[in-house]
Structure 1
Amino acid sequence: MDLTESLPLTVAIKDVVGQPLRLDASAVDHLGALCLQVLIAAARQWQADQIAFEIAPMSEAFIKALHNFGLPGSALTEEAA
């Protein structure tokens, strides 16, 4: 999930605003800062709208990237966002 994936990710997420969302991060081998910002913004929007938001499963690389950014693995859950 690098810079080139940030726009398609944003568009895909915008297409489902207002609906429960579950993202599969099991195949992620890289998480860039811009995609992380998109995911954080989405998690916060879903939390504000009180709609289910989940990223699961998460690859080890995805979890490690969150930790490298200083975030726990639960940072993108609706409770923690």
Structure 2
Amino acid sequence: MTAALALPNRLDLPAARPLADALRANSGEDMQVDASTVAHIGGLCLQLLLSAAASARAAGHQFIIAPRSKAFDDAVALFGVSAETFESEGNP
């Protein structure tokens, strides 16, 4: 079973705890994250997504962020993260 999670428009500090809770609630299964409406992402929320992706893949689960808005891709690129990080499936 694949869990689905739609991200809010702003992934800033106030969004960090709800994001962490949602990611934790769906840990242990494949995850499809929709970032199509994201207009802003801060460093803490990006760290949460990267950590969740690494944990899921280490456990043999898929963690894919798609679709992604251009703003999402541009913002993560500013942090030095490749968009391909969120496209791979299974173990890295």
* TM-score, reference length from structure 2: 0.82
Unaligned runs of 5+ in 2: 1-10
Q: Which has the higher contact order (CA 8 A, sep 6+)?
A: 1
2:34 and 2:67 in contact (8 A); partners too: yes
**Structure with more strand by fraction:** 2
Unaligned runs of 5+ in 1: none
Counterpart AA for 1:31: I
Deviation at 1:78, TM superposition (A): 4.2
DSSP-derived class of the 2:32 partner:
strand
1:26 and 1:58 in contact (8 A); partners too: yes
Q: Where in structure 2 are the equivalents of 1:1-81 lying within 5 Å? A: 1-78=11-88
Q: Give the whole-Å Cα distance in 2 for the aligned partners of 1:34 and 1:2.
A: 8
Q: Give the whole-Å Cα distance in 1 for the aligned partners of 2:72 and 2:14.
A: 17
DSSP-derived class of the 1:51 partner:
coil
Deviation at 1:77, TM superposition (A): 3.8
TM-superposition CA deviations, 1:54-74 (whole Å, max 9, x none): 000000000000111111111
Question: Which runs of at least 4 in structure 1 moved beyond 6 Å after TM superposition?
Answer: none
Q: Across the two proteins, how many residue pairs are aligned to each other?
A: 81
Identity of aligned residues (%): 38
Deviation at 1:76, TM superposition (A): 2.9
* TM-score, reference length from structure 1: 0.92
